[in-house]
Amino acid sequence: MTEGSPIPLPLAWSDKAKRTKDSPISFLIAEAMRNPSLVNFAAGLVDPWSLPVEECLEITRRILSDVDRGRRALQYDTTLGLNDLRRQCLKHLASLEETPVEKLGYGPDEIVVTTGSQQALYLIGDILVNPGDIVIAANPSYFVYTGTLQSLGAHVMAVPMDQHGMDVDAVAKLLEKLDRSGEISRLKLIYCTSFYQNPTGLTLSADRRPRLLELVKKYSRTHRILLMEDAAYRELRYDGPVERSIKSYDTTNQFVASSYTFSKPFAPGIKLGYTVMPKDLAHAVIAQKGNHDFGSSSLNMHIAAEALADGSYLKHAEVLRGVYRRKRDLVLAALKKYFGRGGDGAGSPSDDLPDAEHPIHWTHTHGGLYVWLTLPPSIDTSRTGPLFGAAVDAGVIYVPGEYAFQPDEDGHVPQNHLRICYGSVHPDQIEPGIAKFSAVVKKLLAKTPRPVAQATGL
Amino acid sequence: MTEGSPIPLPLAWSDKAKRTKDSPISFLIAEAMRNPSLVNFAAGLVDPWSLPVEECLEITRRILSDVDRGRRALQYDTTLGLNDLRRQCLKHLASLEETPVEKLGYGPDEIVVTTGSQQALYLIGDILVNPGDIVIAANPSYFVYTGTLQSLGAHVMAVPMDQHGMDVDAVAKLLEKLDRSGEISRLKLIYCTSFYQNPTGLTLSADRRPRLLELVKKYSRTHRILLMEDAAYRELRYDGPVERSIKSYDTTNQFVASSYTFSKPFAPGIKLGYTVMPKDLAHAVIAQKGNHDFGSSSLNMHIAAEALADGSYLKHAEVLRGVYRRKRDLVLAALKKYFGRGGDGAGSPSDDLPDAEHPIHWTHTHGGLYVWLTLPPSIDTSRTGPLFGAAVDAGVIYVPGEYAFQPDEDGHVPQNHLRICYGSVHPDQIEPGIAKFSAVVKKLLAKTPRPVAQATGL
């Protein structure tokens, strides 16, 4: 506005806009970009040094030096997504599931390509959820998606997690309760990150996978409840058991949508994801995506298809597993050194304590980009609390755990957790970063009256 | 589903999903891709032969052979969009408006980069429109957007067009009526494609531009009404007057959002658009986009920024003006040859008639990708009508005009118009395509009882 102009009349926002909060991830990414000297344990950026620059140079050269192919890559494609890419994704999924393509139970037309897997999560939420409808998610959960669900007007009902992932007994109890009260008619979606969850790094255990699907089937009486499996981190496995997807139990392709991304195992810059889903859901997602953008970037789809076809995707994912495994090890070792009691840190979650009165523990993860750290209840990790500012002043930034929780009946969320993401932190910065951070924590602990230790959940 | 499995329970769709129709553009793109031998006057694909394949090869080589730059291009960026790109867009807009950057009335942070301009249209609709709210649009309008608005629950109220674009007197009358009835409180948006409109190819005349803005200001009493200017085709100008944007009259950046795309003047394959908008709207759009995808493809944003910076964007747009000008000329000449009465076709719309009883006319356009053809009322151009099928059988496909109209009070839409897009048709196919098509029309006309000629509007 020009100087001296009057305060403008307000725009008349939609209910959706009023429900939409500023995304904490946008703030954190912007913050980290503004202050590149911070040890950035916050935003979920990926490792910059291992990005497949050479591979993408070679792939784009190959695509664009062939005029016909280059023209296809620079033209519009379909809303569903590049045919060749969807076929490559299908083969890739068969290889992940260790099963022939014919036995997957779905074909290339049940795979929808989106602008990152986030767009698929958004679209699926939007076509199932009316304001007031219910979604079940873990506590804690991927906060960008629970924020999205809230902007859609969903009532997100949270069930606890333990070291084996989402508590499926708690899901069963909640379903029974919703069934008794009749609210089950408003339950549209169960959201579960099945591998190396954001923010805890924990994986749903083998026995819970078919059980979760059976529960969804059992309570799908008047309508189908959709199980939304977020498999973004599946390919970043460093050790521990190899799990099948929940989707692999859904042999008739009716109840589960499973979303994957190229951002984590390849490169975020091409902003592509793909989701396998029931046929009727795919149809509705495509109609909706037609209104959003009528198809993701052709060029990026050609790049992704070529990376899968020429083997560079698989090679790169293997490189990344090495890169992140090392960083994960460095994070766990540093946590043990600066917060541990001398235990070996094995088991997840670890229950190392600096002293009996102040339980500090963290998840011992087998993949993904995150470790979840629990501090004593007296330490407020929230963005407006004393720790966050002190940590930033000391040169370290993290994601406050508060974002990842649904409030309890009194509107409270736990404020003594935080997410450590080692995605974009240089290996040499990890121990110094944790050291600085632990000094800030210890200083605060020294100032804080010491409450009796209590269980604080995840 | 496996054979013999029971019919699945239905998913419980949201109201939004129920309001969302399959996009005709998806159908038409898919149809044309399936049957590449059709003379494709239908889907709005761009000219394939002039796509900037070499330019993009050189640009991606430059970006990805510089490791640091390559890494930035393959990492996440912010939700708002690459800083460098938004600065380049600002400079480009200043050059289009023939004004210094400082006098534009907005800065780079009021420019939001989106996945095509369609995403900006969607996001702005979604954060302003509640079900039942009113949007004013031209009749006919860009059908993907009116479809989007309907899926958002908007009541799209249509005003007629004439050869000078949206009828601003009709807008004034409608606003007065809405004001009297109190419904103006539900009016959120006026949608206007100001340059070479899809589907008519017509441009809003110079005098109507400030008048439309003044009307928006006049009726913004309790809330700001947003004027959504779709400027996707602005740079595809072949002749005729050079117009300022409507935005250029909105000197305090309060009332107008103007959306641009890289798809039409450069390449759809990078799926990028950018929209300049009031600051408070930008804030809300970014919050919403955070839920959709938290930022468009970095790689594509780097490509677009580089194309603007190195001059290849401007050079390419100039090439495209030559390519499309020639095609536009071929379309108009062929229409005159096969449907004309021997007049010179000057003036827009032309009123050439094959005979007095059957008025056939078309728009004489100065830019863009479309010519709008009006047939006698006895000819049903709709997708299920006799012409569409006969045209496809004869090897020609077009967009039925019915998609572009809002129904009148009786639920009727005119069914004697059609859109001819010359975007992806080879120049050598234009005259043969129109010849084949005219033969189909003439055959149908010969079979049809001849009604008295009547005015059918655009």
B427 interfaces chain A, CB cutoff of 8 Å: no
Burial of B176 (0-12, 13-18, 19+ CB in 10 A): middle
HEC-encoded secondary structure of A208-257:
HHHHHHHHHHHHCCCCECEEEEECCCCCCECCCCCCCCCHHHCCCCCCEE
Residues 235-264 (A) with a CB less than 8 A from some CB of B: 251-254, 263
Give this complex's ipTM. Answer: 0.94
- Structure letter (DSSP) for residue A156: E
Q: What is the pLDDT of residue A450?
A: 55
Q: Which tens digit of pLDDT belongs to each residue from B122-154?
A: 999 999 999 999 999 999 999 999 999 999 999
Q: What is the pLDDT of residue B344?
A: 35
What's the whole-number mean pLDDT along residues B237-259? 97
Where chain A has pLDDT below 70, the residues are 1-7, 25-27, 29-31, 342-358, 449-458
B107 interfaces chain A, CB cutoff of 8 Å: no
Confidence of residue B451 (pLDDT cuts 50, 70, 90): low
Q: What is the pLDDT of residue B2?
A: 43
What's the whole-number mean pLDDT along residues B97-112? 97
CA–CA gap between residue B458 and residue B441 (Å, rounded): 19
Whether B23 sits inside 8 A of A294 (CB atoms) is: yes
Q: What is the pLDDT of residue A458?
A: 59
What's the whole-number mean pLDDT along residues B31-54? 88
A133 interfaces chain B, CB cutoff of 8 Å: yes
Residue A302's alpha-carbon distances to A288, B82, B266, B269, B421, in angstroms, are 23, 22, 18, 10, 26
Please tell me the distance in Å from B337's CA to the nearest CA on chain A. Answer: 31
One-letter identity of residue A255? F
Least CB-CB distance to B284: which of A13, A33, A128? A13
Confidence of residue B450 (pLDDT cuts 50, 70, 90): low
Strand partners, A261: A273
Residue B16 with chain A: CB contacts under 8 Å: 126-127, 130, 288
B428-441: burial string, b at 16+ Cβ within 10 Å, e else: ebbbebbebbbebb
CB A380 within 8 A of CB A416: yes
Residue A185 with chain B: CB contacts under 8 Å: 12
> Can you say how many angstroms the Cα of residue A451 is from the centroid of all Cα atoms in its chain?
33
CB B113 within 8 A of CB B80: yes
Q: What is the pLDDT of residue B145?
A: 96
Q: Which long-range contacts (CB under 8 A, 24 or more apart) does A172-179 make?
A: A172/A215, A174/A136, A175/A136, A175/A215, A175/A218, A175/A219, A178/A134, A178/A219, A179/A219
Q: What is the pLDDT of residue A447?
A: 85
Q: What is the pLDDT of residue B352?
A: 41
A7 interfaces chain B, CB cutoff of 8 Å: no
Q: Which tens digit of pLDDT belongs to each residue from B178-233?
A: 999 999 999 999 999 999 999 999 999 999 999 999 999 999 999 999 999 999 99
Q: What is the pLDDT of residue A3?
A: 45
Residue A105 with chain B: CB contacts under 8 Å: 2
Q: What is the pLDDT of residue A456?
A: 47
What's the whole-number mean pLDDT along residues B30-58? 89
- φ and ψ at residue B304, rounded to 5 degrees: -65, -40
B144 interfaces chain A, CB cutoff of 8 Å: yes
A27 interfaces chain B, CB cutoff of 8 Å: no
Q: Please list, in sequence order, all residues whose beta carbon lies within 8 angstroms of the beta carbon of residue B358, skipping any fewer than 6 positions away.
A: B375, B376, B378, B445, B450, B453
At B456, is the secondary structure helix, strand, or coil? coil
